[in-house]
Amino acid sequence: MSNIVAIVGRPNVGKSTLFNRLIQRREAIVDAVSGVTRDRHYGRSDWNGQEFSVIDTGGYVVGSDDIFEQEIDKQVELAIDEADAIIFIVDVETGITGMDEDVAQLLRQTEKPVLLAVNKVDNSKREADAVEFYALGLGEYYTISSINGSGTGELLDALVEVLPEKEKEEEDELPRFAVVGRPNAGKSSFINALIGEDRYIVTDIAGTTRDSIDTRYNRFGFEFNLVDTAGIRRKAKVKEDLEFYSVMRSVRAIEHCDICLLLVDATRGFEGQDQNIFWLAERNRKGIVILVNKWDLVEKDTQTTKEFEKRIRKNMEPFTDVPIIFISVLNKQRIFKAIETAVEVYKNRSKRVPTRKLNEVMLPIIEHTPPPSNKGKYIKVKFCTQLPTPMPQFAFFANLPQYIKEPYRRFVENKLRDHFGFHGVPIDVYFRKK
């Protein structure tokens, strides 16, 4: 499993901006208003060849200072409990605040590596002002400007030096199907129903499953590892913030699986946390099957299934080519259909399209509907091939690839899906210079 790095600190010090800088994309909302980060954000980063997961531990609520202090204590305790290393970010403009001192006091008690990042240091005067942060008792600090990136290289150099070495796990060549989802969606019950025994403790209290466990499973003549990734533990000291653990376990599981079976509680709908996990799987380029569990508890008419599916697909845009199966683990309805579909998605993810066949199909389509001209320059695509990667990735060679925009890339992706059937699998399409 890869290391986890948590970014902690009080509101409005630049956590989300640093997060975006580390993962090199803008996914977190960045705003000058305290409390704007309503959800935690998760991403993958690497530095000097070392990969790790990054968490922006936002999740603050707008309210009094007392509420902020309670939330910050909770966030830091969660980070200490779950992360392998912690970046504590403070603001040189405001100097040391009472909340900074509270966070520092918690961090001084952990044996995990803590890196103190003094943000908004973009001139020599502020460099001198940063000296006061020695008073937090966390040792050396790193001056950075998360907006323009200065100093982040030195911070990352120090970070990868202190990340613990993970023991190499024995390679298992079997495909891994991870059962993911928010607390109490029925993940362990689903696996129990499949294997026909109560291998996992199943209760109505979210947070029973402590760690992910693999079960070797054979169905439809196909053998694979079925992974229960609930991985939520109840601890008084972290005030039972189960959503945090749910997603963190899902992060780890998704990174190391081939197919994600995302269980959704039909009585709650496809909520924000479900969407977070879905996009984690999509960004990691995993095959995805959505299982709407507890369908037996929903009052239905002839349009209920269609409307429910429509709402889910709306929230999945633009990647909507994902199988959605309505199941009842309790009544064992369609649970084997779920596995059969997951096997099909795995085969789709492993599918290879011969280069000759690919060109025979795609080049006439592109010739009939070429990329829009740009400033009087016409783009011609002359050749395409599938790249030798574990997931479907295609390279299209053109004379002016830099002028091809995202809508045309999606058009090509949709045509690949129409003709070669990559149901449930993210596709990468690259345009390169011929």
How big, in percent rounded to 5, are the helix, strand and coil portions of the chain? Answer: 40, 20, 40
Show the tokens assigned to 139: 């040792």
Say if residue 434 carries a ligand binding annotation. no
Residue 207 is assigned to a ligand binding site: no
Q: Is 148 annotated as a binding residue?
A: no
Q: Is 10 annotated as a binding residue?
A: yes
| 208 labelled ligand-binding | no
CA distance 426 to 43: 17
Q: Tell me if 293 is assigned to a ligand binding site.
A: yes
Is 355 annotated among the ligand-binding residues? no
- Which helix (H) or strand (E) segment is 177 a member of? strand 176-181
Is 84 flagged in the annotation as binding? Answer: no
Q: Which H/E stretch holds residue 221?
A: none
Query: Coil, strand, or helix at residue 55?
Result: strand
Instruction: Consult the annotation and say whether 281 binds a ligand.
Output: no
> Is 294 annotated as belonging to a binding site?
yes
Annotated ligand binding at 85? The verdict is no
**Does the annotation place 186 within a ligand binding site?**
yes
Would the annotation count 33 as a binding residue?
no
Known binder of ligand: residue 49?
no
Is residue 15 a known part of a binding site? yes
35 marked among binding-site residues: no
Q: What is the DSSP string of 239-262?
A: TT-HHHHHHHHHHHHHHT-SEEEE
Residue 229 is labelled as binding a ligand: yes
The annotation status of 296 as a binding-site residue, yes or no, is yes
- Is residue 188 part of an annotated ligand binding site? yes
For residues 186 and 210, what is the distance between their CA atoms, to the nearest angstrom?
A: 15
- Name residue 16's amino acid: S
Residue 228 assigned ligand-binding role: yes
Residue 12 assigned ligand-binding role:
yes
- The answer to whether 56 is annotated as binding is yes
320 marked as binding residue: no
Q: Say if residue 312 carries a ligand binding annotation.
A: no
- Residue 295 assigned as binding residue: yes
347 annotated ligand-binding residue = no
Tell me if 291 sits within 8 A of 266, measured CB to CB.
no
Q: Is 119 annotated to bind ligand?
A: yes
Any binding-site annotation on 32?
no
Rounded to whole angstroms, the Cα distance separating 76 from 106 reads 7
Distance CA 385, CA 399 (A): 16
Q: Which residue ranges are tagged as binding site?
A: 9-16, 56-60, 119-122, 181-188, 228-232, 293-296
Q: Which residue ranges are tagged as binding site for GTP?
A: 9-16, 56-60, 119-122, 181-188, 228-232, 293-296
